[in-house]
Amino acid sequence: MTAGAPAGPAGPGPAAGLAVETHGLTKRFGRQNAVDGVDLAVPLGSVFGFLGPNGSGKTTTIRVLLGLASATAGQVHVLGREMPRHGRDVLPRVGALVEGPAFYPYLSGEANLHRLDTANRHAPSSTRAARVAAALERVGLSHAAHKKVRAYSLGMKQRLGIANALLTPRELLVLDEPTNGLDPQGTREVRSLVRSLAAGGTTVFVSSHLLAEVEQMCTHAAVMSVGRLVAHGSLAELRRAGRAHVRVLTPDPAAARRELLRLGMTPDGGSDDDGVTSAVVALMPDDAPAPEAIAAALVRAEVRLRGFAVEEASLEDRFVALTGEGFDVAQ
């Protein structure tokens, strides 16, 4: 975020290498801040997971990014241009699937795409048929091109929505909960489509309330909770930020706690496992001694070790800690 143009009077300029950048993005509805001071940085070429429980402000943020709603405060740059001021230049380069496109159920998938393409004044009519065919092919719907949309499954409709977003080449694709309501097969199809689009160089910004989905598709993620961004970075960075802890099984919990404290850790109260052995769990700070040094120190302090383990925090532990809510980790 530091490689930007010099700050101008209107605030910082867009940083190079970012598909989406926001500073202090805020959207208020009445007295509620649905989006509250959000600073987003979506690297070009990333698959960016925008994760958060229902109602945390994801759709509102996306609507502001796409110029469908105005921000109460803050700056937004999409593909390096300030929004909504440059929407006319930027939006033709952005494909979006937000709240599902409206298709005519009595028209075929192909006819629906023709109709939607006609409405795009930037789309040349001479190449329409070829572009519609290519988009259907891209999402694996060529075989159903002539089928009426009312006979499509939800997954097929969702893929048709993505095909619509792909009718003209896009640098950025914004998908709001693209697998919502899909069965496992439909979910897998959409996921693999997202991966193949990203492999072709498109930046994909995808919102989800499913942690597992973000872990499987995304290179980067941001986590929203009650309108605020509570974590942001590559998946590897987010995983690293989760603290490891040690778990000690011992009949001497008081001595174990004293020694762990002396080593700079914060042990919990300890739980009685079987009336004889207790489990003492302590968070490991960044500068904690190596696990073998901790174990050796415990033994020197005459703590009888019946078990010793270092456990990494899972991404799920971390997100639950950040949002105070459990994520639905179902497929």
Q: What sign does the CA torsion over 24, 25, 30, 32 have?
A: negative
Subset of residues 34 to 63 that bind ligand ATP, contact rule: CB under 6 A = 34, 52, 54-60
Which residues sit opposite 15 in a β-bridge? Answer: 4
Shortest reach from residue 229's CB to ligand ATP, in Å = 12
Q: Which of residues 241-300 bind ligand ATP (CB under 6 A)?
A: none
Cβ-based nearer residue to ligand ATP, 54 or 118 = 54
Residue in 245, 241, 265, 247 with CA at minimum distance from that of residue 318: 241
Question: Minimum Å distance from CB 107 to ligand ATP?
Answer: 28
CB of 227 or CB of 267, closer to ligand ATP: 227
Cβ pair 113, 164 in contact under 8 A:
yes
Minimum distance of ligand ATP from residue 55's CB (angstroms):
4
d(CA 76, CA 134): 32
Does residue number 29 form part of the binding site for ligand ATP (CB under 6 A)?
yes
**Least gap, CB of 250 to ligand ATP (angstroms):** 44
- Closest of 114, 112, 90 to residue 100, by C-alpha: 112
Looking at the Cβ atoms of 34 and 284, the one nearer to ligand ATP is 34
Q: How far is the CB of 305 from ligand ATP (least distance, A)?
A: 46
Is the Cβ–Cβ distance between 182 and 175 less than 8 Å?
Answer: no
208 binds ligand ATP (CB under 6 A): no
**By the 8 A CB rule, do 113 and 103 touch?**
no
Nearer to ligand ATP, 31 or 300 (CB): 31
Sign of the torsion angle spanned by Cα atoms 151, 154, 157, 159:
negative
Using CB under 6 A, list all residues that contact ligand ATP. Answer: 29, 34, 52, 54-60, 209
